[in-house]
Amino acid sequence: MAKLSLADVSNFNSSTAATINANWALIEAALELTLSRDGTSPNQLTADVDMNDNDVLNAGIIDCNQLIVGGETFSGVIPTWYAGSGAPSGGLGTVGDMYLNGTNGDIYGPKTLSGWGTSSVNIKGPTGATGAVGSTGSTGAQGEKGWSPVFAIATDGSRRVLQVVDWVGGVGTKPSTGDYVDESGLTSVIGDAVDIRGPQGPQGTAGAGTGDMLAATYDPTSVSADAFDMDNMVEGSTNLIMTGAERTKLAGIAAGATVNSSDATLLARANHTGTQSADTITDGSTNKAYTGTEKTKLAGIASGAQVNTVTSVNSETGAVVLTTDDISDSGQTNKWTTTAEKTTFKSWDMTIACSDETTALTTGAAKVTFRMPRAVTLTAIRASLVTAQTSGSIFTVDVNESGSTILSTKITIDNNEKTSTTAATAPVLSDTSLADDAEMTIDIDQIGNGTAKGLKVTLIGTHA
């Protein structure tokens, strides 16, 4: 039904004025039912207003007897809104207050005398579409240069792990050392570190080769020399193993020799013809053969010569036992050797290059492996560099005999120095007896800033 219906005027006659007047009366009555923007009375509603889901905009003070929001009657007290992460605690707020869980968008309230209750409304909408890519920001300031770790191989039983022994190349405070490398980074527990050796691989399949296996061809470095030791072989049914005595006996038999006759035949002089060389005759217990030298000596002794008697030697009489101190070598071509000279003659030293001259040195085990050329008693040990390192941890070297260190205090070369002879801490030998053909290895346990080059180690002592 229309709020205002007016009569149409089709032509002007005597009743037209009445129709117009009636329309104006209806308009006036309709205006009386509207709200006045300037507040002209009447300006009150006499019935409910249905906003039909539309908003009331720019409202100032709302003065009403009762306010219902979302089906809930508003008590007239303006609630306080709270927000936080998770559900509200029981002691938060008063009756009528509201709470927003900022984590998931749940709304709690109004709070009652019984508490907050459970959330019944969630204001979090669906995820919006991905926005446009923003413009590239300006380049930030360059950060400080980071530190690079220096690793050394550490032993954990049968395992080998990496340990941080130094940091190089960075700016600012240097990180701490001593941690080990695990699967996700660094750890202070050596048992959690990654074993860099890996598990032992499966045994390979047996080869199909035939023929002789010469040690010089198949085992030139004597890795499994016992496999070619005759003592470890078993005789066959046809081919037998010859002992050392049998080889010696065979070597003494001339090619084409015949089998000997019996001892009785050989010993009977009637069976011997020609002459017998004295070189083939063995001395008896009483009668003995002359040597050529003895025969010449005898020919030089006059017939009837007497044995000389020594009455005094260097003021000593009786049964004199001569020592080297009793005999002067003054004016002689051949002279006695003193104890000091003997020590000098036995002096021995060997220098081992552990790298080239130009490559920066790094930490690691067995940088060089060699074998002792003879048995030696060490009296000193030293190391040197072609290029000294300038900073960082002290350059440290270890020397091992058959896998065990020979040093209780390892060799060090101080920063900006090229020799261990000037080090603040001198090396101390714990094993001075090096066996002939012993396998020796040299390790670099620690370096500084990575500028050291050209390492050499010198062993000093006397030979056996």
pLDDT at position 325, please? 63
The DSSP annotation for 91-150 comes to: TSS-TT-EEEETTT-EEE-S-BTTB-----EE---PPPPPPPPPPPPPPPPPPPPPPEEE
CATH number, position 352: 2.60.120
pLDDT at 77: 65
Looking at per-residue pLDDT, the higher value among 66 and 388 belongs to 388
The residue out of 132, 164, 190 marking a domain boundary is: 190
Is position 7 within any domain? Answer: no
Query: What is the rounded average pLDDT of the residues 27-38?
Result: 78
- Look at residue 98 and tell me if it is in a domain: no
| Stretch among 61-65, 71-75, 131-135, 186-190 having the lowest mean pLDDT | 71-75
Q: Is this model's pTM higher than 0.75 or not?
A: no
Beta-bridge mates of residue 152 = 163
In a domain, 170, yes or no: yes
> Domain containing 367: what range?
346-463
Cα of first residue to Cα of last residue in the chain, in angstroms, is: 133
Among the candidates 161, 190, 219, a domain finishes at 190
Last residue of a domain, one of 171, 190, 209: 190
| Region 90-111 average pLDDT | 89
Mean pLDDT confidence for 274-301 = 78
- Residue 313 is classified by DSSP as B
Angstrom CA distances, 155 to 161, 224, 303, 317, stand at: 6, 27, 83, 70
- Which residue did the predictor score with more confidence, 344 or 446? 446
Note whether residue 130 is domain-resident.
no
Has residue 56 been placed in a domain? no
Residue 153 pairs with which residues in a beta bridge? Answer: 162
Residue 369 lies in a domain: yes
Helices (H) and strands (E) in the chain, counts: 6, 21
DSSP string covering 120-135, please?
Answer: -EE---PPPPPPPPPP
> Hey, which residues does 161 pair with through a beta bridge?
154
Query: Is 372 part of a structural domain of the chain?
Result: yes
Q: Tell me, yes or no, whether 263 lies in a domain.
A: no
Q: Give the model's confidence band at 292: pLDDT under 50 very low, under 70 low, under 90 confident, else very high.
A: confident
At 398, the pLDDT band (50, 70, 90 cuts) reads very high
Side-chain half-sphere CA neighbours of 169 within 13 A: 7
Nearest to 80 by CA among 56, 63, 100: 100
Domain total of the chain: 2
- What band does 319 get if pLDDT is binned at 50, 70 and 90? low
Can you tell me the mean pLDDT for 428-436?
Answer: 95
Give the mean pLDDT of 113-129.
86
Q: Which of 67, 113, 69 is nearest to 90 (CA)?
A: 113
